[in-house]
Amino acid sequence: MFQVKSIKIDIFEMGKISRSEEIVKKQVLVLYVGGTIGMKKNDDGVYVPVPHIFYDQLKSLPEMHDSGLASKYFPDLADNQLVLPQFENNVILYQLVEYDPLLDSSNLTMSDWIKMANDIKANYNDFNGIVILHGTDTLAYTSSVLSFMIKGLQKPVIVTGAQISIFEIRSDAINNIQNSLILAGCYQIPEICAFFDHKLLRGNRTTKVRLTKFNAYRSPNYGPLANAETAIELKDGNIMKPDPAVPFEVTTTLNSNVRVITFFPTITPSMLESVLQEPTAGVVIQSYGAGNIPSNQPELIDALKKAVARNVLIVNITVCLQGSVVSIYDTGKVLADIGVISGRDMTLEAALTKLCVVLGYPDLSHDQRVELLKQNMRGELTPLDVTDDNNNNNNNNL
């Protein structure tokens, strides 16, 4: 592996040397997990992952590989390394690691999250940033869970994908990969992020809201970390400031016994009890409005109360895309009274994966796990002293 260093080159303008500019070499690791971004149609006319063709496609695209820059300054590139066209005074060399097998993101499991986290850990010190190429269906789950699995992050890890394969015309893959590489290699953004359609979002604030549009993702309760339009504009006030005293750590012990219950008018106690029964250890409730469930059905309340008494961790979030759980109605206060934890304005993806991680921590008491779930661990919760109006003014439109 080559060393990160700076080199000097001469810049010519109108046949004359105008100045000497320092070219800064950056390195970015790209973990190609799978997804639409690299799929092709099979004989049945459906999209499937195809191994061992993505690198050659990237190399053939002048937007993704500058062969002249590579031959002049990096003649000893490895077979899986490419050079992005120069961005300002930065030259980004990126190294592609293709997963085997490649995955449609709907097929991802907890073991795949653990593999990604371990790969980030193993390569963390060797790169300026890391980009994960991922399918769109579960991208928000991956960007959320990685944020909770990784502590003390000091550099960008960006998850991105595409709505149209890079092998097709009009693909959004080139824009998403290019911008992710630049943001990961050239900027100090110490977060797990998601990039899509010119916006960099906090990973655990991200949710998929559109199926076929390029702007498929939104951060309903938090503003973007950066906009990448004609210029790249960082939103410094939205980016977390890391504590240099907190060491980089990765936890890979997760608990899969986490369920989701969405309340609806015809729900019955038996339905609820079937989800709450052992071995369930954690539950995300998606309740009505500001966090409400039927308070006039004591059997439903009793089922939840019994689960809390068994130390099942239950987190209440709103089914609404935007807004926060608050106990302003009797139908919501009843949950707080029996020990259900307010998830405030967390997304479903954040609430579920936070439970998986917190329940996986060894040697914690039940009360300690409850306190962690109430805490704003990785920017997934809006502080209680920030109003919805103030936060939404800082947010991108839905």
Q: What is the pTM of this model?
A: 0.91
Average pLDDT over residues 296-310: 94
Catalytic residue at 212? Answer: no
E strand or H helix at 22, and its extent?
A: strand 16-34
Q: What is the pLDDT of residue 5?
A: 42
Give every CB contact of residue 4 below 8 A, 6+ residues apart in sequence: 25, 26, 27, 128
Q: What is the distance between the alpha carbons of residues 204 and 219, in angstroms, rounded to a whole number?
A: 9
**Antiparallel, parallel or unpaired: β 90-103 and 81-83:** antiparallel
- Is pLDDT above 60 for 4? no
Residue 193 has pLDDT above 80, yes or no: yes
Q: Say what the pLDDT of residue 212 is.
A: 86
Inform me whether the pLDDT recorded for 391 exceeds 60: no
CA distance 113 to 132: 11
- pLDDT of residue 10 exceeding 60: no
Residues 354 and 369: their CA atoms lie apart, in Å, by 11
Query: How much is the average pLDDT of 95-117?
Result: 96
Tens digits of residue pLDDT in 31-44: 999 999 999 999 89
Q: Please report the pLDDT score of residue 333 as a whole number.
A: 79
Give residue-wise pLDDT tens across range 276-296: 999 999 999 999 988 888 888
Stretch 294-306: mean pLDDT, rounded?
91
pLDDT at 331: 58
With contact defined as beta carbons under 8 Å apart, do 172 and 214 qualify? Answer: yes
Q: How many CB atoms lie within 10 A of CB 4?
A: 13
Confidence of residue 111 (pLDDT cuts 50, 70, 90): very high
**Where is average pLDDT lowest: 8-22, 122-136, 298-312?**
8-22
Domains and CATH numbers, the chain: 6-250 (3.40.50.1170), 258-374 (3.40.50.40)
Which pairs count as long-range contacts for 43-49, CB under 8 Å and 24+ apart, including other chains?
47/165, 48/104, 49/101, 49/102, 49/103, 49/104
**pLDDT tens digits, one per residue of 201-221:** 999 999 998 888 778 889 999
pLDDT of residue 240: 95
pLDDT cut 90: percent of the chain above it: 78
Q: Please determine, for residue 141, whether its predicted confidence score (pLDDT) is greater than 70.
A: yes
Q: What is the pLDDT of residue 290?
A: 87
Predicted confidence (pLDDT) per residue in 31-87, tens digit: 999 999 999 999 898 999 999 999 999 999 999 999 999 998 888 999 999 999 999
Tell me the pLDDT band of 20, cut-offs 50, 70 and 90.
Answer: very low
| Average pLDDT of every residue of the chain | 90
Containing 214, the helix (H) or strand (E) segment is none
Model pLDDT, residue 301: 93
Q: State pLDDT tens for residues 306-342.
A: 999 999 999 999 999 899 998 666 656 789 889 999 9
pLDDT of 112 over the 70 cut: yes
Q: What is the pLDDT of residue 392?
A: 45
